[in-house]
Amino acid sequence: MRKVVVVEDDKFIAAIFTMFLRELGHELVGRCSTGAEALDLCHRLRPDVVLMDIHLDGELDGIQTSEQLRRELDIPVIYVSSDTSSQVIKRAIVSNSYGYLVKPVNKKELGISIDLAFYKHRVDQEQRERERGYRQFISDAPMPLMILQEGRIQYLNHLALDLFKTHYMEDVITLPYINFVEPEYTELVTALLDDFKNKGIGFQNKLLAMQDVHGQVFYSKISGSAIVFNKKKSLQVTMVEASDMEYSNKTSLAYKTMIDSFGLPYFVTDQHLQIKEISNSLLFNGLELNDQKVDERKDYFEKIEDESTLVYKLIAKDKTPTLFKSHIIKDVSGEVLEIFFYPGK
């Protein structure tokens, strides 16, 4: 049983609706003839469905009243009118009504329309609630998140706005994502967006150079997956700021290239002196170095006191004693990213 309010200025038609509703097992909780009365009734009675005539006496017609009810109370409205002019139909569509019945209305059509409106409205409420929960989730997420529809930015959380160096979503919202991608990566991003659009395929850990709203370049690893947002197929993109990583990789590569050109051995550690990489050198053959901490393997390394830099001497058995000096690679804030050890005197 649904609670129904009837807004109809024709008393005869209103009486027919009253009879139909009783026979259909619904409860008529209120009846009125103007938009202002309908607003007052609905605020007091909170019906499940409103049957609304379009042409009403007073300042508000049925469509205006329906729009106000949707904004204030979120109550589903079914229009009931003998007017089928295109102008009225367009207004009814834009107002997001839950049905349009043409007078005279029979009981069966009325019953079906009321049930459809009630259940469709419930589904819409559940969807909005899920979206509110999802918006809260992405707002509070511990990583930058962005939502794209048709390749355009529709939403960003606060951490994503920080990456774009802005406090205002309006600076990026509805703009094509490709606008913020460096030219050398546009082909990659275009292919990723096309695959998602045509095949629904997401992607993982794609490194690319992007621009913030001021045109400054930063590197980011992005991953994408399909979601539904505002009732539309959307692409959720997570972004991991990777400028420091990319800077470290390029700097390390430069050193490796230089040392390799001389055929010299080297190894790379993190800020805690845990070895991340060793060169392909006979000097290291037979030594278990990967993931080892230099300062803990005293059977392999001896620390040499030096006020200017870290220096270790390879003292492993059956190996030529070799002195390794270090070059510390830092990010722009001064934090150590990795340490490059190379032969030195």
The domains located in the chain, with CATH, are 3-136 (3.40.50.2300), 141-241 (3.30.450.20), 245-343 (3.30.450.20)
Calculate mean pLDDT across residues 173-193.
95
Q: What is the dihedral of CA 58, 62, 65, 71, to 10 degrees?
A: -170
pLDDT at residue 180, rounded to an integer: 96
Question: In the structure encoding, which two tokens stand for residue 282, read together?
Answer: 């006979």
> How does pLDDT run across 83-115, given as a tens digit for each residue?
989 898 889 888 888 999 999 899 999 999 999
Among candidate residues 219, 209, 243, 239, the one with its CA nearest the CA of residue 147: 239
Confidence of residue 333 (pLDDT cuts 50, 70, 90): low
Evaluate if residue 79 carries a pLDDT over 70: yes
pLDDT at residue 337, rounded to an integer: 79
Tell me if 211 sits within 8 A of 181, measured CB to CB.
Answer: yes
Question: In the structure encoding, which two tokens stand for residue 269, read together?
Answer: 């550690």
Calculate mean pLDDT across residues 165-191.
93
Tell me if 80 sits within 8 A of 105, measured CB to CB.
Answer: yes
pLDDT at residue 137, rounded to an integer: 67
DSSP secondary structure letters along 13-27? HHHHHHHHHHHHT-E
pTM here is: 0.49
Confidence of residue 250 (pLDDT cuts 50, 70, 90): low
Tell me if 30 sits within 8 A of 5, measured CB to CB.
Answer: yes
Q: What is the DSSP letter of 215?
A: S
- Backbone dihedral angles phi then psi of residue 222, each to the nearest 5 degrees: -115, 145
Mean of the per-residue pLDDT values of the chain: 88
> How does pLDDT run across 267-316, given as a tens digit for each residue?
999 889 999 989 888 889 888 898 999 999 999 999 988 767 889 999 88
Please give the share of the chain, as a percent, with pLDDT higher than 70: 93
Q: What is the DSSP letter of 79?
A: E
DSSP secondary structure letters along 101-149? EESS--HHHHHHHHHHHHHHHHHHHHHHHHHHHHHHHHHH-SS-EEEEE
